[in-house]
Amino acid sequence: MVTAHITHLVGHSSWEGTSERTSEIFNPATGEVIATLDLASKDLVDEIVAKAAEAAKTWGAISIAKRTRVLFKFRELLEERKGEIAKTIVREHGKTYPDAIGEINRGLEVVEFACGAGHILKGGYSENVSTNIDAYSILQPLGVVGVISPFNFPAMVPLWFVPVAIATGNAVIIKPSEKDPSATMEIADLWREAGLPDGVMNVVHGDAEAVNALLDNPTVKSISFVGSTPIARHVYERGVAAGKRVQALGGAKNHMLVLPDADLDLAADAAVNAGFGAAGERCMAISVLLAVDSIADELIGKITERMATLKTGEGMGEGIDMGPLVTKAHLDKVRGYVDAGEAAGAELVVDGRQGDWVGGTKEGFFLLPTLFDKVTKDMSIYTDEIFGPVLSVVRIKSYDEGLELINSNEFGNGTTIFTNDGGAARRFQHEVQVGMVGINVPIPTPMAYYSFGGWKNSLFGDTHAHGMEGIHFFTKTKAVTSRWLDPSHGGLNLGFPQND
């Protein structure tokens, strides 16, 4: 099979050099190598940063109106081409086509939010703060900003950051995951087609060497990162040490608390969708179900019935609910957790290591949906972020016990409660120590005009993604205090010119 070759995008042009290091990209449904990818050196990253810095000077000085027109055109092109990009995501990541379309649509919401950035960038004005003295604030771009994107949302996560950064006048260098970079490349080309000047949007591919080069380069003023908690911590600590702004979104262990008065059919649907959608490879996946004892058996029965109807297979297949995992190494890791949960004494209700999938090949990276019951908080399937289609049920006696489990967890990304008791729901949203909360909603990902991000070890840095926090992250505020002498002082004549 002839493989494609993917290289860096320096402004509007493909890099023309020869890379000393490359990596392979796989089709997860077949296990085949479909492309090779150039990996950047530190020197190359520094070269691209220098080009972006020159572009940032011009782009940051362009009027907000002209920047907005580029954003509107980009939004139009992304809407037109999202089907092509979704197929690319299926081929490299493995998720189903409807799921890939869904992630692009969520990214489009951020583009649409960024189209209105002119309203948000107005700043403030106070007249006569002292006698004849006015004060006002203005928001200005940072310059060159870096984005480091994960494999699980190769379109949506770049769209969380890049449109906001560009709308606020910055030049961007994005490093997509080396596992599935092509969607980012296609999106970058749409920016060119939309009229973005050369050098404002750049794509560099690589591993730890490229990441550290972005973190260390003093011209890069901020870093936006999404990934695992250990790497998020590294990005934050190294970036801050280099004097950068950093928003580093890390891992998660999201709990769903189901109370006895909940609609159990609604809760079962939600558990299946949030637990197994995208093969569990998303930071907002529900991986722990906290079920009060009195309804646990009935709820598990309903979940098991629904799991029996799920079709796992190649992401472009008709009626496929779940695709493969992204790599063989990740498949082996997730299967290892299933083995560990069984060995630790959890009850394996549905074993995803058994069964067939549709399409793909036997070499594909498939694990079917897996369900554990009677999981305890000392088991690795409870403590660790598995990032796969594994749902663990922990039986609890009360709301208070469930709340304590959630609040004592090291992660605080997302959580949700299922109940018909408004008082319990209101108490939960107030008491739970988690950044994003759902009430009878399985995946409480906020809309673009709110900000995305968790608490505790799910976020390093103070700023969440998109929304108002995103605008402020990519701008610096300047306060101006001014006084102008009145014309009566004998200075300027401010009257209309006359022809004598």
Catalytic positions, written as ranges: 283
CB-based contact 479:251 (threshold 8 Å) = no
Closest to 152 in 3D by CA, of 209, 208, 203, 89: 89
Strand-by-strand arrangement of the 32-39 sheet? 4-6, 32-39, 21-27
Q: At what angle do helices 182-193 and 156-167 cross, to 10 degrees?
A: 30
> Distance of CA 33 to CAs 230, 326, 334, 366, Å?
28, 12, 21, 16
> Distance of CA 264 to CAs 219, 267, 417, Å?
54, 5, 12
Token readout for 19 is 């890379």
Cβ neighbour number for residue 31 with a 10 Å cutoff:
18
Q: Please tell me the distance from the alpha carbon of residue 264 to that of residue 304, in angstroms, as a whole number.
A: 13
Token readout for 450 is 């709110």
CB-based contact 277:103 (threshold 8 Å) = no
Q: Please tell me the distance from the alpha carbon of residue 412 to that of residue 459, in angstroms, as a whole number.
A: 8
CB-based contact 58:143 (threshold 8 Å) = no
Token readout for 150 is 């994960």
